[in-house]
Amino acid sequence: MLADTCTPARRWPLRFFAVFLATQLCGCADSQPARALRIASASTSMTLCTAAFVSGVSPQRAFDMEVAPGPGMRWLAWAVRYEVDRQHRAVSSSLGGAFESRAIHRPGLGCVLAPGAIPDGSWSPVEDDWKSPDPFPELAAPEVKSAESAPLRAAIDAAFVEDRGRPRNTLAVVVLHKGHLIGERYAADVGPTTPLPGHSLSKSFVHALIGVLSRDRTIDPAVPVDVPAWRSPEDQRRAITANELLAMSSGLPWDEYRGGFDPSTRLWFDEPDPYAYAVRMPLAESPGTHWAYSNLGYTVLSRIVRDHAGGSAPRTAAWIQRELLGPLHMRHTEVTFDATGTPMGANGVVASARDWARFGLLYLHDGMIGERRQLPARWVEQARTPTLDAGYGRGFWLNNTHAPHPLPGHWGMPDAPDDAYFARGYLGQFVVVVPSKELVVVRLGISYRDGGDIATVGRLVRDCVTALAARR
């Protein structure tokens, strides 16, 4: 069997026994400490599975850069043991031999946790969906495009400069101006065709999928969503609309705040049916009255996509290919599906930096691909319109508000133009669209710096704008 393994230091048994005993003293195996350890194992398996079988990068490097430095994992990394089974496209992880988890890669459908029976299915892209003319042929060129000017080259290079104490870990930068590729750079072992985890960039992708359903009048995002668990006349959740789910104003609680102890990580790594868990969640506020970050809401939206696109993972993947990936020629993108066949739209899209640049151009061009309207009229405008007093639109973060943020920090991107709006993943994945400058900047990385190193990305965007002005 072809396998990569990582075994912790020899002294782990006594130390891990202390951790394991503490979880048992807290109560049953479903206690919060025990669940957090299960989540630590499961997230390791999923991260390394994606690295090995979707991105094609070193699992050990992914462990060192993405898993080990994570909040909470810093205390547990010494106990992690993993094995990569290349023959069966699987990764198994445990914490000192306990809390074992296993993730399986299904081609075309991403990695899935498989505690029991392995979900059936795989899927291959349909070649006919690539036959339309490529709307952005420069992004299909095999060679890396060097920056067109010294100031632009300096701006891109600065994004890769490391701070010894707080790694930046920039993996890819792509810059487009007026639809043209004007510069890019990649880290070692990463290139134009390397799919990389987008994390919450996926939410912006789901915004586009809901837009396609709205364009075709399959759903009306302004009317309440049909969720069987919410149909009771006494249930306030029955009033929630897809627009409110997209805007994170549904009234569902803020769900991402404490690593392995919050609802979001439970949703992704400890629930066999994430949608069923999401729709059990009670409201924290009345729908439409408050903004709160919501992976739960985007999980409900993902199920809406599945239910209207065929009801199974392969059929939904084919629909996504036909309606979005194919027209944009996003050839190096894989959408992750959970064990129920629902896309993991809150965090599961894995795509190359150039593919994310193609996605950014869809929004820069107001939802148009050439002469074809891919997204409904005003769909992009609504994405850029603030929700209540928040610096968030629908699926995108905004740079046009100075309202106080509920957490330390601020809403927007420092140094970027006021009209910039952006998709954002928590480890420093950004797709920034600047309409006034006809600019798209993509930065993918694995950074635990403040806000995913948002300040550095803001400077990158600023310096790209300055470089463009200097060449006129």
Question: Are the C-beta atoms of residues 184 and 145 closer than 8 Å to each other?
Answer: yes
Alpha carbon distances (Å) from 39 to 101, 254, 432: 9, 19, 31
What's the full length of the chain, in residues? 472
Category of 395 on φ-ψ map: left (φ > 0), alpha (ψ -120 to 50) or beta: left
Range 144-169 average pLDDT: 93
Number of Cβ within 10 Å of residue 138's Cβ equals 14
- Most confidently predicted of 30-34, 255-259, 333-337: 333-337
Measure the CA–CA gap between 190 and 201, rounded to whole angstroms.
Answer: 19
Measured CA to CA, the distance from residue 433 to residue 428 in angstroms comes to 16
Report which of 349, 371, 344 is spatially closest to residue 359, judged by C-alpha positions.
349
Whether residue 323 contacts residue 129, with contact meaning beta carbons closer than 8 Å, is answered with no
pLDDT at 22: 46
Determine the pLDDT at residue 30: 53
> What is the CB-side half-sphere exposure of residue 88 using CA atoms within 13 A?
12
pLDDT at 304 > cutoff 50: yes
Q: Is the pLDDT of residue 1 over 50?
A: no
Alpha helices, H only, 59-190: 59-62, 150-158
Contact present, 39 and 269 (Cβ < 8 Å): yes
Minimum mean pLDDT among 116-130, 156-170, 416-430: which range? 116-130
Report the chain's C-alpha Rg in angstroms: 22
Rounded-to-integer distance, Cα 271 and Cα 107, Å: 22
Distance from C-alpha of 398 to C-alpha of 291, rounded to nearest angstrom: 14
CA atoms within 13 A on the CB side of 356: 36
- The predicted structure's pLDDT at residue 411: 87
Average pLDDT over residues 208-215: 98
Domain spans in the chain, listed from the N-terminal domain onward: 3-113, 150-236+305-470
Point out the least confidently predicted range of 55-64, 164-173, 373-382.
Answer: 164-173
Q: Which two tokens stand for residue 268?
A: 């992704």
Task: Compute the distance between CA of residue 19 and CA of residue 257 in angstroms, rounded to an integer.
Answer: 22
Confidence of residue 25 (pLDDT cuts 50, 70, 90): very low
pLDDT tens digits along 233-271: 999 999 999 999 999 999 999 998 877 788 999 999 999
As a whole number of angstroms, the distance between CA 273 and CA 189 comes to 35
Query: So what's the pLDDT on residue 123?
Result: 83
pLDDT for the residue numbered 73? 86
pLDDT tens-digit readout, 39-85: 999 999 999 999 999 999 999 999 999 999 988 888 889 999 999 99
Q: From CA 344, how far away is CA 293, in angstroms rounded?
A: 16
Q: What average pLDDT score do residues 94-118 get?
A: 91
What 146-153 contacts at long range (C-beta under 8 Å, 24+ apart), as own/partner pairs, is 146/183, 147/175, 147/182, 147/183, 147/185, 148/182, 148/183, 148/471, 149/467, 149/470, 149/471, 151/463, 151/466, 151/467, 151/470, 151/471, 152/182, 152/183, 152/463, 152/464, 152/467, 152/468, 153/183
Q: Taking the model in full, what pTM does it have?
A: 0.94
CA distance 14 to 29: 20
Residue 172 near residue 431 (C-beta atoms within 8 A) = no
Retrieve residue 418's tokens.
Answer: 């006021």
Beta bridge partners of 185: 173
- Residue 7: its pLDDT value, please? 63
The CATH code that applies to domain 150-236+305-470 is 3.40.710.10
Residue 128 near residue 122, CB atoms below 8 Å: no
Rounded CA separation 213/304 (Å):
10
> Token digits for 215?
């364009």
d(CA 425, CA 420): 16
